[in-house]
Amino acid sequence: MSRGFPNRSYELRNCIAAVLLLGVATAPRQAATSEQSSRATRAAEQIVLSVDPARSTVHWSVQSSLHTVHGTFHVKRGTVSVDPATGKASGEIVVDATSGESGNDGRDRRMHKEILESAQYSEVVFRPDHADGTIVAQGNSSLKLHGIFSLHGADHELSVPAQAMLKADEWSGTAAFEVPYIQWGLKNPSNFLLKVKPFVDVQLDLAGSVRQAR
C-alpha cells in the first residue's frame, strides 16, 4: 500500500500542472477573442455628429477679372450619421441662403435678388448618403462624403472631401469643394466689363457634439 501513494501523488502533480498549463494557454486566446468582440462592437456603432451653428461657418470665394470676392453664409442646423462598418451616411447640413454676405451692400443685394433668389430659395442643403474613407470614434478622420446638394430648387450629386477631429463628446471638421453655379442653372453675374469665374470655392468650418448610437 505504501508504494502506491508516491505514484498517486506523482499523477496528481501532473494533473495539476496540465490544468495550469491549459489555463495559461487558454487565457490569451480568451483575451484576444474578447478584444475582437469589443472591436466589432465599436465598429457596429454609428457615429452621430451634431452641428452647432454658433461654432460653424460657410466661407466662399469667387474669382473675377478684377479681383476675388470673399464672403460667408450662416449654418442653420445639421446632423450627420455615419456607420464606420458600411460607410452608410444620413442626415443633412442646412445653410441659410439669405445670410450670404461679401462686405459690399450693393453686390450682396444683387447676389440675393438676381443670382441666389434667396427670398424664394432660402436654404442650401447637403444630404450625405455614403462616406468613403476612415472615420474613428476618437482622433483624426479623413473621408469623402457623397450625397445630394440642393441649391436654388434643384438637386445635384456631389462628393465632398472632409477632415474631422473627434475628441470625447466634441468634434470639429472642415470640407472644401467647388460649386459650378452657372452649370447648375444660376445666373451668370458677368458683364462686358467684369468676367466672373463659373464656379464658387466653398469651405465649411463645422463644430459640434458627437455621440455613438446603435
Q: Are residues 108 and 208 in the same domain?
A: yes
Q: Are 78 and 138 in a shared domain?
A: yes
* CA neighbor of 107 nearest in space, from 76, 75, 154, 66: 66
pTM: 0.78
Which residue's entry shows cell 470639429? 172
User: Do 99 and 174 sit in the same domain of this protein?
Assistant: yes
Phi, psi values for residue 121, rounded to 5°? -110, 85
Q: Quote the number of domains for the chain.
A: 2
Q: Do 67 and 130 fall into the same domain?
A: yes
Cβ-contact 201, 161 below 8 angstroms: no
Q: What is the pLDDT of residue 12?
A: 47
* Closest CA relative to residue 160, chosen from 139, 130, 182, 187: 130
pLDDT digits (tens, 9 = 90+) for 12-39: 455 444 433 444 444 444 444 444 444 4
Residues 73 and 153 grouped into a single domain: yes
In tens, the pLDDT along 82-96 reads 999 999 999 999 999
Residue 87 belongs to domain spanning: 45-213
203 bridge partner residues: 59, 176
pLDDT value of position 14: 54
What 3 state SS string does 64-120 have?
Answer: ECCCEEEEEEEEEEEEEEECCCCCEEEEEEEEEEEEEECCCHHHHHHHHHHHHCCCC
Give the helix ranges, DSSP H, for the chain: 4-44, 105-110
State how far the Cα of 152 lies from the Cα of 186, in Å rounded to an integer.
8
Give CA 180 to chain center in angstroms: 22
- CA 149/CA 154 separation, integer angstroms: 8
Residues of the chain with pLDDT under 70: 1-44, 214
Same domain, 22 and 121: no
Same domain assignment for residues 123 and 158 = yes
Locate 46 and state its grid cell: 454609428
Domain shared by 165 and 201, yes or no: yes
The domain that holds 203 is classified in CATH as 2.40.128.110
Q: Which three cell numbers stand for residue 111?
A: 447676389
